[in-house]
Amino acid sequence: MDISFSDTRPDKARLVAQIVDKGNMPDGLERVLASGARASRFEGKPGQLFEGFVERDGEPVRIALAGAGDAGSEARAANCEKAGAALAAKYLSAGEETLVLDLSGSGLDAEGAAAVLLGLRLRSWRQDAYRTTMKDEEKVSLARVTVVGAPAGTEDAWREGAALAEGVEFTRVLVAEPANKLYPESFVAMCRERFEGTGAEITVLGEAEMEELGMGALLGVGQGSRRESQLLAIKWNGGGDEAPVAFVGKGVTFDTGGISLKPGPGMEDMKWDMGGAGAVAGGMLALVKRKAKANVVGVLGLVENMPDGNAQRPGDIVTSMSGQTIEVLNTDAEGRLVLCDALHWTQDTFRPKRIVDFATLTGAMLIALGHEHGGVFANDDSLAEDLLEAGKATGDKLWRFPLSPAYDKLLDSPIADMKNIGPREAGSITAAQFLKRFIRDDVPWAHCDIAGMVWAKTPGRTWGKGATGYGVRLIDRFVRDTLEG
C-alpha cells in the first residue's frame, strides 16, 4: 500500500477518513453526518468506526470517522494505531482504491499521525499470493492512502514507521510461507534479496562449515531432511566500535517432530516454527532500513526437522559446538538443539555485550500464557527489565519466568552431560535452563519463548488472521531505547 502526503485534498475523493478523539466531534462536519454518528453511538473510542455518505460539490462522498480515544491517554500511540487499523480492516477490500486521510483539524501530533499510518499499513497486509480464483469483491482494492492536513513532522515520523512496517511485513511473509517454499536455503535467499544494498553484512554457513565447527546438535536436527541446514548471520554496524547486541532466532522451517513424530492434526502449524528466526530477520530489516545508530547482529539457525532413514533417533548422543554432549531423548525437542549451537557460535564469533534469543520453543508456553504474552527468561535483571519495557511500549508483550539450579538439574543425564527434555512439568522453564547451559557466565542473556505469539487464529490489534509479525517491534524498540539513547 502506497502512503503519500499532499497539501490539498484531491478532488473527486470518494472515500475520506477523519480521526476523532473521544467526545470531540470535529468542527465543520456536515450536520447529518455528525448527528448520524451520535445516533449510532459513535463516541470516538479507540478503533471505533462510523461510516456515512454526504454530498460534497454535488457528488456523494463516503466519510469514515475513526476513533482515537482520549487525546491525553497514556496509550495514545496504541489508540491511534487502532484507529488506522480499523480503517484498513474496513476498507481493504471495500472497492475503493484511494483513501484520503484528512487530518486537518484533528487533535493529532506528528507521532499520533504516524501511529495512525502504522496501524493502517500493518492491518492492510494480507497473504493472498497463492489464491488464484478469488472473486473480485474479495480482492484487496485499497492501493493508496493520501494524507492531507498532516501535522508538521508527520513525514519524518512516518519514515521511521515505514521502516518498521517493512520489517513486520517481512516477518509475516516468512512466517506465512509454506514449508515447501520456505526451507533453510530459500530462507537465506529471501534474506539476501531483502538486505541487498542496505549495508548489512551477510554470512552463511552450510553443513560442511558447521560440521567443521562441530555443531553436532544443530546438524543432528537437520540430518533427516533433504534440505541443507544453514546458519545465517546478518550484521549491522551503525554504532561505532561498541560490541554488538545479538539476536538469535530458532528457524525450524518445518517441525514434524522427527522420529518422535507429532500427531497429524494441527501439524501444519509447524510451518511457523521458524517464527523466532522470522522475528530476528524482520527486526534486523527494520533497524537496517531506518539506519539505526547501533551495532547489532541477527543469527538464524535454519533447519528442517523430518523423520527419515537418516534422521536422528531417540537416545542418540550428539556433541554440541561447546563440547557438551546431549542425549536426545525426544527428537521433537529440537529447537533447543538448534539454538544451543547458534548461541555458542554467536558468543564465539561476535562477543556480544548482550544476547537475546527468540523461539517458538515449547507448547507449554502456550498453555501458560496463551496468545497475550511471550515468556521471557533472563540471567540478568536489567536486560529482562529492558525487554519487558519494550514489550509494554510496543504491544509485543512479554512476561518474565524464573530460572534456577533446581530446574536445571532436571536435565541431568546418566549417560551424557545433559538430556534434551525434562519432565512434563515446567516444560518451558527446563527448555530455558537447557539454553542457559550454553551461555557464558559473564554474558547477559535473555530467552523469549514466543510459541503463542507468531500466529493468530483471529484478527488482532494490527494484524488479521495468520502471521502477526510479533517480535519485530520489540526488537526495534529495545534497540532504540537501550543503544540509541
Residue 174 touches which member of ligand BES, Mn ion, Zn ion, none, C-beta under 5-8 Å by kind: none
Q: Quote the cell numbers at residue 310.
A: 537418516
Give the span between the Cα atoms of 468 and 122, in whole angstroms. Answer: 9
Give the span between the Cα atoms of 252 and 250, in whole angstroms. Answer: 6
State the residues that interact with Mn ion by CB under 5 A.
255, 332, 334
Residue 363 touches which member of Mn ion, Zn ion, ligand BES, none, C-beta under 5-8 Å by kind: ligand BES
Going by C-alpha positions, the residue among 204, 224, 438 that lies closest to residue 341 is 438
* Contacting residues for 333 by C-beta, under 8 A, at least 6 apart: 420, 421, 431
Closest residue to ligand BES using C-beta atoms = 363
Going by C-alpha positions, the residue among 272, 285, 287 that lies closest to residue 167 is 285
Minimum CB distance to ligand BES smaller for 255 or for 396: 255
Could you give the residue ranges of the DSSP H alpha helices within 92-153? Answer: 110-123
Q: How far is the CB of 430 from ligand BES (least distance, A)?
A: 8
Residue identified by cell 548482550 is: 354
Taking residues 273 to 312 in sequence order and writing x for each that binds Zn ion by CB under 5 A, - otherwise, the string is x---------------------------------------
Q: How far is the CB of 363 from ligand BES (least distance, A)?
A: 3
In the residue annotation, 262 being an active-site residue is answered as: yes
Residue 362 touches which member of ligand BES, Zn ion, Mn ion, none, C-beta under 5-8 Å by kind: ligand BES
230 φ, ψ (degrees, to nearest 5): -140, 150
State the residues that interact with ligand BES by CB under 6 A.
255, 273, 330, 332-335, 360, 362-364, 366, 421, 427, 451
Minimum CB distance to Zn ion smaller for 307 or for 459: 307
Q: How far is the CB of 70 from ligand BES (least distance, A)?
A: 37
Within positions 236 to 275, which residues make up the interface with Zn ion, using CB under 5 A?
Answer: 252, 255, 273
Q: Is 222 in the site for Zn ion (CB under 5 A)?
A: no
* Contacting residues for 53 by C-beta, under 8 A, at least 6 apart: 60, 61, 62, 63
Q: How far is the CB of 249 from Mn ion (least distance, A)?
A: 15
Q: Given 181, 262, 293, 437, which residue is catalytic?
A: 262
Q: How far is the CB of 276 from Mn ion (least distance, A)?
A: 13
Burial call 44-76: b when 16+ CB within 10 Å, e when fewer = bbbbbbbbbebeeeeeebbbbbbbbbbbeeeeb
Q: How far is the CB of 371 from ligand BES (least distance, A)?
A: 11
Q: Quote the cell numbers at residue 259.
A: 522420529
Q: Quote the cell numbers at residue 439.
A: 551461555
Residue 366 touches which member of ligand BES, Mn ion, Zn ion, none, C-beta under 5-8 Å by kind: ligand BES
- What strand order describes the sheet that includes 316-319? 316-319, 325-328, 418-419
Minimum CB distance to Mn ion smaller for 98 or for 253: 253
Minimum CB distance to Zn ion smaller for 126 or for 227: 227
Minimum CB distance to Zn ion smaller for 83 or for 338: 338
Q: Is 221:252 a contact under the CB 8 Å cutoff?
A: yes
Minimum CB distance to ligand BES smaller for 230 or for 360: 360
Q: How far is the CB of 41 from ligand BES (least distance, A)?
A: 40
Q: Is 335 in the site for Zn ion (CB under 5 A)?
A: yes
Minimum CB distance to ligand BES smaller for 16 or for 328: 328
Q: Given 126, 172, 336, 419, which residue is catalytic?
A: 336
Pairing of strands 455-456, 466-467: antiparallel
In the residue annotation, 76 being an active-site residue is answered as: no
Q: Is 119:83 a contact under the CB 8 Å cutoff?
A: yes
234 φ, ψ (degrees, to nearest 5): -120, 115
Binding residues for Zn ion (CB under 5 A): 252, 255, 273, 335
Q: Which residues are catalytic?
A: 262, 336
